[in-house]
Structure 1
Amino acid sequence: MAFWGKARWLAEGKRGYRRCPVLPWEEEKVESAGYRLSVGAEYFVNGGGESTVEKLESREGFVIEPGQFAFILTKEKVYISKSAIGFISIRASIKFLGLVNVSGFQVNPGFCGNLVFAVFNAGPKHVNLREGDEIFSLWIADLDATVDETSEDTGKIPNNLDKIPSDVINGIAGEALTAYQLSDQISELKAELQKIKNYALRAVLILTVVSSVVFAVFGKSLVQAIFPSGTATQTEQPVEQSSDGS
């Protein structure tokens, strides 16, 4: 299995419409061993409790917040012959912001259509994207034999895809948390517990001071109230005098 180099990509791009590996074809997007793919006209971001795919106009932007999953449709259609296989990834400049590809890395032989990237913002900051941003990369490698389409697994993203399928977004409509967000929440919880400890300590100190003052001012009265003056704590025996007067 050999990956296509730049010369092979350029040669494939000159084969004409419907025979190019990527449409629309833009020669300037060819890399040394791959092709840059762009954000297309549809996206979905979880976390808001809704399951609605959003549309994007040309150069319109959207945000993926920390802890959010998103599906992003590519602007380009990809064609992988039955004698080749594709590999996809997010470009390093976006990956360094914390956005990671969770949709897998393989484009099956015989696939034709727009790609849908599933991504997750595992970083601590918002990631801002726009329609047309070149944030994905595609590599293609030749196989040593043509793949029989009857051997393809079921349940894959269908061919001739041009929109985000509704059934793929149903499982991520909830909210997820990153390690950064969990750390922040733990820190906030620790701060609240420390506040409670401080309040408790102050209450004990105030109670101690108040008790001391009350005892100092009313201590004698309290003792008299507890031990009335007519109460003998001990039975005294009278002293008898001897008969000789001693």
Structure 2
Amino acid sequence: MSFWSSQTLRSRLPRLIEPFHQDHIQSASYELCLGDEVYISALPDTPQKERKKVTLRNQETIPIPPGQFAFLITSETIKVPNNALALISMKFKYTSKGLINVSGLHVDPGYSGKLIFAVYNAGPLHVNLARGERVFAIWYADLDEDDEKPRNKIGYDVIPTDLMNIGDAVSSLPVLVKRLDDLEKKVEKYSFVQAIVWGVSGSVILAIIGVLLRFVIEPLIQPLLNMIQSSLASS
């Protein structure tokens, strides 16, 4: 497998990437832009009608919150020949802020369509992305011959609903943190109630023991104590 050089990309990509911009070629790779659709994973209590994609206009930006998953689509339509393979990644500018690509790292031979990236913000701050911003990178490499099982299915043009449903099924970090906080509060509340119960129970038990000693046990052993005292006095 040999990767395409910048010169090869310049000559071949105009037929494989639409729209193509020559200045997007950087060190044997091509930089792809964020498209007009973004979907950020919904929280479990988000109403169903509010669980929808965001459509970006012009160079509009959207923040991806810490601990949230998102689906991002490219503005370009990509084609991969049957005798080639493509590798994809997020640019370091964004991974250094904590944005991680958690989807696949390659594009199959024969694929044609836009690319969808599943990303996760593992950083402490919001990561802002703008439509048309160069967020991704793609590399092409030759295979030794045409692949006998190329990708024949129609590729993506929009972010499909089934992917959004998968995103909703994943609990985000803020949700997990909230659940842990709620659990901690319940444990603290239970411990407080338990302490009160044990305190009251202990007082009641001590009171019962006192009553038993005074009114039950003491009358029973008092004659024996009197006999012992009388024996000691007579001796």
Fold in common (TM above 0.5)? yes
Which residue of structure 1 lines up, in the alignment, with residue 229 of structure 2? none
Moved more, 45-54 or 189-198: 189-198
CA 184–172 in structure 1, closer or farther in 2 if over 3 Å, else same: closer
Letter in 1 for 2:113: G
- 2:42 corresponds to which residue? 47
Is residue 35 of structure 1 aligned with residue 30 of structure 2? yes
Measure, in 2, the Cα distance between the counterparts of 1:29 and 1:153. 26
Instruction: From 2, 5, 25, give the equivalent of 2:20.
Output: 25
1:114 corresponds in structure 2 to: 114
Q: Could you tell me whether the CA contact under 8 Å between 1:37 and 1:134 is conserved in 2?
A: yes
Where structure 2 has 5 or more consecutive residues not aligned to the other structure, the ranges are 196-221, 227-235
2:63 alignment partner, SS class: strand
Question: Following the alignment from structure 1 to structure 2, what is the Cα–Cα distance between the partners of residues 27 and 153?
Answer: 27
2:6 paired with 1:9: no
Other-structure match for 2:56 = 56
1:141 aligned partner, one-letter code = A
CA contact (8 A) 1:42 1:163 kept: yes
List per-residue Cα deviations over 1:102-131 (Å, max 9, x = no partner): 110111111111111111112222111110
Post-superposition shift, 1:12?
1.8
| C-alpha RMSD of the superposition | 3.9
Amino acid corresponding to residue 23 of structure 1 in structure 2: E
- Residue type matched to 2:64 in 1? I
Q: Tell me the equivalent position of 2:230.
A: none
The question of whether the paired residues in 2 share the 8 Å contact of 1:68 and 1:175 is answered with no
Q: Which structure has the larger Rg over C-alpha atoms?
A: 1
After TM superposition, list the pairs within 5 Å mapping 1:166-177 onto structure 2.
Answer: 166-174=161-169, 176-177=171-172
2:66 alignment counterpart: 66
Moved over 4 A (4+): 180-198
Partner of 1:58: helix, strand, or coil? coil
Cα pair distance change 1:191/1:124, threshold 3 Å: farther
- Residue matched to 2:89: 89
CA contact (8 A) 2:108 2:151 kept: no
> Per the alignment, in what secondary structure is the counterpart of residue 169 of structure 1?
helix
Distance in 2, matches of 1:97 and 1:176, equals: 21
**How far apart in 1 are the matches of 2:184 and 2:133?**
41
Residues 67, 176 of structure 1: 8 Å contact kept? no
The superposition leaves residues 24-57 of structure 1 with CA deviations (integer Å, 9 ceiling, x where unpaired) of 1111110111000010011111124343222111
Q: Using the alignment, how far apart are the partners of 1:145 and 1:129 within structure 2? A: 38
TM-score (norm 1): 0.68
- 1:104 maps to which residue? 104
Correspondence for 2:160: 165
1:11 Cα deviation from its structure 2 partner: 2.0
Once the two structures are TM-superposed, the CA of residue 88 in structure 1 deviates from its matched residue by 0.5
Deviation at 1:184, TM superposition (A): 8.6
Q: Quick one: percent identity of the two aligned structures? A: 32
Q: For residue 167 of structure 1, what is the amino acid of its counterpart? A: D
Shift in Å, 1:197? 8.7
**TM-score (normalizing by structure 2):** 0.71
Give the Cα separation in 1 of the matches to 2:35 and 2:53.
Answer: 12
Report the more deviating stretch, 92-101 or 44-53.
Answer: 44-53
Match of 1:147, SS state, is coil
In the alignment, the residues of structure 1 paired with residue 95 and residue 34 of structure 2 have an alpha-carbon distance, to the nearest angstrom, of 15
CA distance in 1, matches of 2:81, 2:34: 23
Q: Which structure's residues are more often helix, by fraction?
A: 2
Which amino acid in structure 2 is aligned with residue 32 of structure 1?
Answer: S
